[in-house]
């Protein structure tokens, strides 16, 4: 596939090709992730944690998401770019939700938006879709409502919550969402949802029975240290590698090993 579109993702599901997705929040990382062949780049509100050091995703603002998204857009040639609508920018009423989504599209140049929740935000999703903006859903563990649940534990283990999740998933598909993220739910339930829906289901901590996988980039390259969920596979240990490189640089400066004769004018 050349440029990835929402249509491409649908074709991938139809052909049984898994969808790869990672986060990025800035230009340089986005060039690397896109160049490596990722299908979807999420400008996640996890930037609130990863970039700004907040404990939750709640504090990040729409202006800050637009800054991250526009930086990512400048680094990407192929991937489909999805941007999270941040907490507080879409929950109060459908008109505000649409205004927020329009600002993201206009001011960043991204291709689509993502929102957390099902039935509660149905009218907002419809309004955004009516404006021609593709919407990705997000169910299961929804970090913007962390204070309602109080924990980051696995979601929808009980029958009642699983039924609600399934009906929300159907509702999101029916409303016109192009894909759905399922976060931290039992693999069996996630597979049921993926089998039930025509739109792609992209999992994080949701097993391998879904249509694709997403991880937070800084976690999978091991830049973050204090986060060890079972679903996280670390492909690099950049925290340690960078620490070693930087302390080597400090030593080289102190000992006047750097710069050498060749590294000066």
The set of catalytic residues is 183
CB closer to ligand KIV, 147 vs 265: 147
Among 139, 172, 216, 220, binds ligand KIV (CB under 6 A): 216
Q: Does 89 bind ligand KIV (CB under 6 A)?
A: no
Site string for ligand KIV, 150-189 (x = CB under 6 A): -------------------------------x-x------
CB closer to ligand KIV, 166 vs 184: 184
Shortest spacing between CB 104 and ligand KIV, in angstroms: 14
CB closer to Na ion, 34 vs 84: 84
Q: Does 219 bind ligand KIV (CB under 6 A)?
A: no
Q: Does 117 bind ligand KIV (CB under 6 A)?
A: no
Q: Does 211 bind Na ion (CB under 5 A)?
A: no
216 touches which of ligand KIV, Na ion, none (CB within 5 to 8 A by kind)?
A: ligand KIV
Q: Exposed/middle/buried for 188, CB within 10 Å: 0-12, 13-18, 19+?
A: exposed
Residue 137, beta-bridge partner list: 180
Measured between its terminal Cα atoms, the distance across the chain in Å is 47
| Binding residues for Na ion, total number by CB under 5 A | 3
Site string for ligand KIV, 32-71 (x = CB under 6 A): ----------x-xxx-------------------------
Q: Does 86 bind Na ion (CB under 5 A)?
A: no
Residue 140, beta-bridge partner list: 183
Q: Report which residue's Cβ sits closest to ligand KIV.
A: 44
Q: Does 134 bind Na ion (CB under 5 A)?
A: no
Site string for ligand KIV, 11-30 (x = CB under 6 A): ------------x-------
Shortest spacing between CB 42 and ligand KIV, in angstroms: 6
Residues 190, 211: Cα–Cα separation, whole Å:
10
> What is the torsion angle, in degrees rounded to the nearest 10, for the CA atoms of residue 144, residue 146, residue 152 and residue 158?
-100
Please count the other Cβ atoms lying within 10 Å of the Cβ belonging to residue 51. Answer: 16
Binding span for Na ion by CB under 5 A among 7-15, 68-76, 84-92, 153-161: 84-92
User: Between helices 122-130 and 159-175, what is the axis angle to 10°?
Assistant: 20
98 touches which of Na ion, ligand KIV, none (CB within 5 to 8 A by kind)?
A: none
- The residue ranges that bind Na ion (CB under 5 A) are 44-45, 84
């Amino acid at each position: 596939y050349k440029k990835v579109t929402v249509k491409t993702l649908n074709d991938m599901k139809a052909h049984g090709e898994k969808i790869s997705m990672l986060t990025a929040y800035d230009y340089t990382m986005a060039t690397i992730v896109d160049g490596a062949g990722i299908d979807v780049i999420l400008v996640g509100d996890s930037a609130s944690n990863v970039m700004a050091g907040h404990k939750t995703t709640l504090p990040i603002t729409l202006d800050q998401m637009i800054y991250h998204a526009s930086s990512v857009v400048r680094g990407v040639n192929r991937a489909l770019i999805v941007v999270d609508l941040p907490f507080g920018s879409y929950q109060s009423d459908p008109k505000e939700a649409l205004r927020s989504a329009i600002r993201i599209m206009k001011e960043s140049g991204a291709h689509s938006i993502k929102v957390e929740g099902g039935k509660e935000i149905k009218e907002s999703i419809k309004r955004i879709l009516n404006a021609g903006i593709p919407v990705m859903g997000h169910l299961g563990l929804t970090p913007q409502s962390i204070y309602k649940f109080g924990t980051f534990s696995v979601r929808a283990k009980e029958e009642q919550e699983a039924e609600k999740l399934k009906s929300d998933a159907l509702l999101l598909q029916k409303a016109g969402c192009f894909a759905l993220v399922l976060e931290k739910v039992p693999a069996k339930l996630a597979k049921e949802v993926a089998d039930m829906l025509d739109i792609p289901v992209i999992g994080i901590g949701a097993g391998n029975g879904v249509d694709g996988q997403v991880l937070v980039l800084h976690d999978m390259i091991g830049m973050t240290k204090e986060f060890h969920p079972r679903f996280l596979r670390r492909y690099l240990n950049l925290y340690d590698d960078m620490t070693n490189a930087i302390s080597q640089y400090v030593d080289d400066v102190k000992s006047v090993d750097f710069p050498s004769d060749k590294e000066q004018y």
